[in-house]
Structure 1
């Protein structure tokens, strides 16, 4: 496959470990926003370094926006899904529904609303 192929480049980006789970955790937050510490707590085994790296990548791609509140200590960083990020959630939901229909036997996860899904 050609390295410059849009599908190839997109798959390489989206299949980096934690990327899709970070997007889903942001989707679950009020107004699709979560603080860095909330993301870290909800994702369990992710390291701070990897979470920071993935969030920077998502921000660079326009999938999330970052807001920093330096008026208090510690400084708070909040991340919000953009319109592009919200559309990506629809793609993830489509993959989930395909998996439930054809490949993955996951009875507890039969719902389509990922905002209430407990990963």
Structure 2
């Protein structure tokens, strides 16, 4: 078997890893996404722009916190997420609000009370994140085994 660039030759590993179905229903759709991305490289590519904005762990965790616990105040969300800094949570919530995924409501009290909640658009994104979380849960052990094999082969 010929070793391809970037692959490791593991002893006894003769399994073919490219086990895609011969006809993948979304293949054409993904090719179109790359076509648009490559032809608009110096312009705004909606897929790249939006994915870059929402794919960091803090955005995902903020969306999961609001989706799972409903309306939250800033410190409640900071506590739910855990190891996020105040500055990073502020930046994350501002970005999510600017994108229409989160609403920020300020109550005219002393001291001011501020609450955050998902918009319908935010709930739609949370449903997509839930699919990804389910996939990660279903495949996590297999991925960890592959990582361990990779480390042992290095």
TM over 0.5: yes
Output the CA distance in 2 between the equivalents of 1:80 and 1:10.
20
Partner of 1:104: 140
For structure 2, the 5+ residue unaligned runs are 1-37, 143-154
For structure 1, the 5+ residue unaligned runs are 107-119
Partner of 2:47: 7
Give the alignment's Cα RMSD to 1 decimal: 1.8
Decide which of 100, 125, 132 is 1:95's aligned counterpart.
132
Partner of 2:122: 85
In the TM superposition, 1:71-82 aligns within 5 A as 71-73=109-111, 75-82=112-119
SS at match of 1:78: strand
Are residues 1:33 and 2:33 paired?
no
* Deviation per residue, 1:55-94 (Å, 9 max, x gap): 0111110001001123132x22100100000001110011
- Higher-Rg structure is 2
Decide which of 83, 92, 98 is 1:54's aligned counterpart.
92
Moved over 6 A (4+): none
Task: Pick 1 or 2: higher relative contact order, CA cutoff 8 A, min separation 6.
Answer: 1
TM-score with structure 2 setting the length: 0.60
TM-score with structure 1 setting the length: 0.77
SS at match of 1:23: helix
Deviation at 1:98, TM superposition (A): 2.1
